[in-house]
Amino acid sequence: MEGILAEAGSLDFAGIFARVLDFLADLDSGWQLWAGGGICLLLLWRVVHERLATTAEHRALRRQYKKLAKAGVAEWERPYRLFTGREGWNVLPGGFLMELTSRLIERDKVIDFILLAEEFDQAQSLQFARLAKGDPDTAMRDLSAFLTDFAEGLPAPKMVAMLGFAVQIDPENHWALIDLATEHYVAKRFAKALPLLEQAISLGEQVMVGLPRDRDARGRALASHAQRLTIEKMQSILKVAGEMYEDCAERVGAK
């Protein structure tokens, strides 16, 4: 039964039909009508849900992924091939794309990332080519920071998605963690905000080590025409994060 529903998710109707017939043939005759009707309803629901939940481009990339599977491409390599088979992405360094794939991991995560990046960054290949320079770890930190900055100003659902990618690509990006936790907190998704805040507070405390104080940073900030992070500013951020954490812990614990 589970295998049949898995086929339904891929929209391979020929495969679904064959699996349903095999399933029904193994049942006693008295149950075949009920089982067949139930399976048909489940299949219909799965197909309709699939159509409503994804865009045409998303389904096209899923079909491409399935073709790679049928061609015998290893499972770990298929998400990477989704990148290299797409215009704009195929000009990026292979090491950068391989590292990015390893951090996104799942097929649908890779697909969602490709489509979201293409939707909001028409010059994505040029921007990512700049970020791809250097060793993989540095490139991923730079990419995560770029996505965090880019998420600002996006509509709430896509901001959350972009920040989610930033956190997944670099789990130590405390700015992305705080921003994502704040979005969940404002939307009253306290259970989702809680672990993000806990991680953000821990990382923020580590970042404070070595930060200058306001009086020490003022001259350099004026000289560079840029606002610099100081111990006082980080303390203020952590104070707010701590208050949100306590509220989330109380609300989640009360459920």
Residue ranges covered by each domain of the chain? 1-53, 172-255
Using a 10 angstrom Cβ sphere, with 0-12 exposed, 13-18 middle and 19 or more buried, the burial of residue 155 is exposed
The more confidently predicted of residues 125 and 240 is: 240
For residue 75, the model assigns a pLDDT of 93
Are the CB atoms for 93 and 136 separated by under 8 Å?
no
Residue of 143, 133, 213, 225 whose CA lies nearest to 176: 143
The percentage of residues in the chain with a pLDDT greater than 70, rounded to a whole number, is 70
Between CA 90 and CA 134 the distance in angstroms is 18
Mean of the pLDDT values across residues 16-36? 58
- The pTM assigned to this predicted structure is 0.74
pLDDT confidence bin for 209, thresholds 50/70/90: confident
